[in-house]
Amino acid sequence: MKRIKLLSVMVALFGFVIISSAQTLQEVTEARNKGAELMAAGDLDGAITELEKCIELAIAVGDDAEEHRVLAESALPNLYLQRASRVPRTDFPALLAALNEVVEVAQKYNDSRVKESAERQIPQIYLALGNTAYAAREYEEAIKNLEEATARDPNLVTAYFIKGVCYQSLNNEEKMEENYKQAIEKGTAAGDVQNVQRARQQLRNFHYNAGINSRRAQRWDDAIASFLKATEADENYFDGFYALASSYNSRRNWDDAIAAAERALQIRSTEVDAVYFELGTAYAGKNDRTRACENFRRVTSGPFLEGAKYQIETALRCN
């Protein structure tokens, strides 16, 4: 009698397990189908909820629900990406949160295509945040966001350029120069002509202006160092090479003055009376009277004309 009762209980339990398992598998199917319906209707939030429910139930059921789990997992990352695309492009914090969620889900379900798509967008959001902060003169905040941008995309040329401008505004010359040079290097490799030109111009102008201030204070060594940096930033910078020639003459470095002046003449061949005057001065300093006279005679107009005439007629007595 006891054996009969025990057998009856076991049969009942086994039957319950079969019914329970079948019911759970049915729930898996229903969740997947409902997710598909909501996805087709454009209800991404609802579709995501149902497919995640499907996956959770499928894992509990096991092998019998494997196909449902795989199909649900393959659909989820793209749904998260679609949902992120609906976030207003100007709502940067919300957009970042959504894209980071996409990366997390795509990584969890091994969807490299969706993961890469989201990861390509994230640096651009940080760049936009940095640009907005820069426009508001919030330089530290701008730099923080731009650092995030370049950490995720080391070749984001615009981010390096804006960082350079921010550091320049904060009077951090070392960091300014570092980022302008990065913009030039990476922009050259990427063929980004516009940002390369902008970075070169910013860098050269900064050093040129510093050189002018030093020259006015007659700090010749400082002036020369700054003008050299300006010409390193832009090897075709006429004003920089002319300023170098003038500063070298003031320092009585005649050969360096001649080299700088000749480079200036290679860059520009017209309106160069000031350069010829510096060449004449350098050759006079070297006691090369013939070449000094030759260059002073080439000064035909402008503020150096009277000085050139004096050298020709009085100081050197050129024939």
pLDDT at 171 over 50: yes
Q: How many CB atoms lie within 10 A of CB 179?
A: 27
pLDDT in tens, 233-289: 999 999 999 999 999 999 999 999 999 999 999 999 999 999 999 999 999 999 999
pLDDT interval class at 23 (50, 70, 90) = low
Return d(Cα 126, Cα 142) in angstroms, integer: 9
Residues contacting residue 194 through CB under 8 Å, at least 6 positions apart:
none
Enumerate residues 6+ apart whose C-beta is below 8 A from 195. 157, 158, 161, 183, 187
Q: How far is CA 91 from CA 84, 97, 230, 272, 277, in A?
A: 11, 10, 40, 54, 60
| Angle at the Cα of 180 from the Cα atoms of 164 and 126, rounded to 5 degrees | 50
Per the model's pLDDT, the better-predicted residue between 76 and 16 turns out to be: 76
Check if the beta carbon of residue 33 is closer than 8 Å to that of residue 57: no
Q: How confident is the model at residue 300 (pLDDT cuts 50, 70, 90)?
A: very high
Asked if residue 264 lies in contact with residue 249, where contact means CB atoms within 8 angstroms, the answer is: no
- Residue 218's Cβ-count burial label (10 Å; 0-12, 13-18, 19+) is exposed
Q: What is the pLDDT of residues 71-121, one digit of tens each?
A: 999 999 999 999 999 999 999 999 999 999 999 999 999 999 999 999 999
Q: pTM to 2 decimals? A: 0.81
Contacts of 174 (CB under 8 A, 6+ apart): none
- Residues 111 and 115: their CA atoms lie apart, in Å, by 6
CB 114 within 8 A of CB 77: yes
Encoded tokens for 198: 């902008």
Q: Which domains does the chain carry?
A: 26-86 (no CATH), 236-319 (1.25.40.10)
Rounded to 5 degrees, φ, ψ at 226 are -70, -45
Q: Read off φ and ψ for residue 241, nearest 5 degrees.
A: -70, -35
318 Ramachandran zone, left/alpha/beta (phi>0; psi -120 to 50): beta
Between CA 114 and CA 79 the distance in angstroms is 10
Across 30-44, 89-103, 220-234, least confident range: 30-44
Question: Is residue 25 pLDDT above 60, yes or no?
Answer: yes
> Across residues 175-192, what is the average pLDDT?
97
The proportion of the chain whose per-residue pLDDT surpasses 90, expressed as a percent, equals 82
CB atoms within 10 A of CB 37: 13
Q: Which residues of 250-288 are buried (b: 16+ CB within 10 A; e: fewer)?
A: eeebbebbbbbbebbbebeeeebbbbbbbbbbbbbbeeb
Q: Is the pLDDT of residue 2 over 70?
A: no
> What whole-number distance in Å separates Cα of residue 34 and Cα of residue 62?
20
pLDDT at 17: 38
The mean pLDDT of 20-41, rounded to a whole number, is 82
Share the mean pLDDT of the chain. Answer: 91
At residue 208, the pLDDT reads: 98
pLDDT tens digits for range 122-162: 999 999 999 999 999 999 999 999 999 999 999 999 999 99
pLDDT band, very low/low/confident/very high, at 13 (cuts 50, 70, 90): very low
pLDDT class of 7 with cuts at 50, 70, 90: very low
